[in-house]
Amino acid sequence: MTQTIAFQGEPGAYSHQACRETYPGAAALPCRTFEDAIEAVRGGTADLAMLPVENSTFGRVADIHHLLPGSGLHIIAEAFVRVRIALLALPGTKLADIEQAMSHPMLLGQCRGFLEAHGIKRITGADTAGSARQVAETAVPETAALASALAGEIYGLDTLADGIEDEGDNTTRFLVMAPAPDLARRGDAGMMTSLVFTVRNIPAALYKAMGGFATNGVNMTKLESYMVGGSFSATQFYADIEGHPEDANVALALEELEYFTSQMNILGVYPRDPRRD
């Protein structure tokens, strides 16, 4: 039976590209919001959700870390997708014909050098794939879209130029969410564990909690804080660590962390993607 993966955005979005690259044989289900993608899995419409969490150029994706703890889903994989930006136009159009390009503001900002070099004006669109669809529907030859080559394939547009982003290593990290955890797997490149926790209201609690990872030799690849419940005093932390909770050193570090926290929740245990390196 074919798996279905929910993603936020229109067909041809970079999240759609992540679904295709990570699960080539699966059916992709576009959703209007991240919440809709999560609900599709919770309601049984989709088997998995592909959610972007951070970009190498622009940092974390807003709201995602707030949604993960209450989603009821579990992280079972991570995927790194290289963001290659293509200039897409109506079939038969030449690069010299393009006067303006439409896309999400983030993508417009990533192609300043190329657009300025070719005298192309920037037009703000709702999103990347949606801009490609609009260019195809309005059929104005002078207007192009900045999106993935996949979007061009879906909406019947020609790729006039590809890889035009200013930063040559622009990459987005995605998390694959499922209804149930899978703790049995072991990845060839190691394992990752993601968790959220709230430190106890005692002096140096965070410092002491972090000490357990250092003394037990556990590498923490990410630590971010954000407020919860509108409170300025209750801060929740999101962390990614290398290893499996059943590893002796990780178990000791988590035990020490739990002592200094009022709440701790493991969001997922999953194979480490070799593309991290």
Do residues 74 and 102 share a domain? no
CA 61 to chain centre: 7
Determine the pLDDT at residue 230.
62
CA 218 to chain centre: 24
Do residues 23 and 126 share a domain? no
Give the three-class secondary structure for 256: helix
Give the three-class secondary structure for 188: coil
Do residues 46 and 74 share a domain? yes
Do residues 24 and 158 share a domain? no
Do residues 127 and 21 share a domain? no
Do residues 68 and 201 share a domain? no
Do residues 255 and 196 share a domain? yes
Question: CB atoms < 10 A from the CB of 123, how many?
Answer: 18
d(CA 120, CA 142) in angstroms, rounded, equals 10
Do residues 36 and 65 share a domain? yes
Residue 183 lies in a domain: no
Determine the pLDDT at residue 140.
95
Give the residue numbers annotated as catalytic, written as ranges. Answer: 172, 174
Do residues 77 and 90 share a domain? no
Full residue range of the structural domain in which residue 245 is found: 191-270
Are 161 and 86 in contact, with CB atoms under 8 Å apart? Answer: yes
Do residues 196 and 254 share a domain? yes
Look up the CATH number of the domain holding residue 254: 3.30.70.260
> Global pTM?
0.90
Q: What is the DSSP letter of 111?
A: T
Do residues 203 and 255 share a domain? yes
Mark which of 178, 202, 224 sits at the end of a domain: 178
Do residues 174 and 47 share a domain? yes
Residue 276 lies in a domain: no
Residue 9 lies in a domain: yes
Residue 184 lies in a domain: no
Residue 17 lies in a domain: yes
Number of domains in the chain: 3
CA 92 to chain centre: 34
Mean pLDDT in consecutive groups of 10 residues from the start of the chain, 277 residues: 93 96 96 96 98 85 81 95 95 97 91 96 93 96 96 97 90 95 87 92 83 95 80 78 97 93 93 89
Determine the pLDDT at residue 234.
61
Residue 126 lies in a domain: yes
Q: What is the CA radius of gyration of the chain?
A: 21
Distances (CA, A) of 203 to 198, 209, 232, 237, 258: 14, 11, 16, 17, 16
Look up the CATH number of the domain holding residue 129: 3.40.190.10
d(CA 178, CA 74) in angstroms, rounded, equals 5
Distances (CA, A) of 95 to 117, 138, 201: 12, 18, 60
